[in-house]
Amino acid sequence: MSNVSATTKLTPTPGQTVGPFYGYALPYEKDRELLAPGTPGAIRLQGTVYDGAGHPIPDAILEIWQPDAEGKIVQRTGSLVRDGYTFTGFGRSAVGNTGVYTFTTVNPGPTEAGAAPFVSVAVYARGLMNRLFTRMYLPENEEALAADPLLSSLAPERRKTLIARRDADGGLTWDIRLQGGDETVFLDFDGTGYEDASQ
């Protein structure tokens, strides 16, 4: 039986910082390959994770979830034991010593007609009390980007932090800034929708 009365105000215990990450536990073989490199339609999604001072963060981990090229939300097992053929829509990439991450994936398709395609991203890094959630949008289809509920709720300078740039080889580059003037928009889910948690 508890000795705490119903009127006693309890102080919440603070969370622990995210990390350190252990090489034997989180990374796994082909974790960043949502499909095999060289597969028709495969692209490279890459970028750098920066801290508030603009320095690359060498020990972050990113997880992505995305629909396939047709916009279907895939519900297949096989993310942790890749067979080189099954696209599951999930990947994990440890950031290298230079702060760079990379995934082999496909351009996500729109999940409904007229929607802006995007990739959902979770960021784990030193000093964070909790993981951060965000999105990366494809740069094409200005009309769909303008109509997207999340993007249209943001000021133009904030909106651009969620849109990747297309590389000459057809891949995507999207940098993540955890703080500072060009801080990436991070999302706070409250059960009724999302809001910019960066503000």
- Domains of the chain, residue spans: 43-196
Q: Which residues contact 193 (CB under 8 A, 6 or more apart)?
A: none
Q: Are strands 43-50 and 176-177 parallel, antiparallel or unpaired?
A: parallel
Residue 61 to residue 124: CA distance in whole angstroms: 5
pLDDT of residue 194: 60
pLDDT of residue 27: 78
Helix (H, G, I), strand (E, B) or coil at 144: helix
pLDDT of residue 21: 59
Strand partners, 47: 101
pLDDT of residue 22: 57
User: What pTM value is reported for the model?
Assistant: 0.84
pLDDT along the chain (199 residues), means of 10: 64 66 70 93 97 91 96 88 90 92 97 96 87 96 95 95 97 96 89 61
C-alpha torsion sign, points 140, 177, 90, 74: negative
CA distances from 24 to 21, 77, 166 (A): 9, 22, 34
**Whether the Cβ atoms of residue 69 and residue 41 lie closer than 8 Å to each other:** yes
Superfamily of domain 43-196, CATH level 4: Aromatic compound dioxygenase (2.60.130.10)
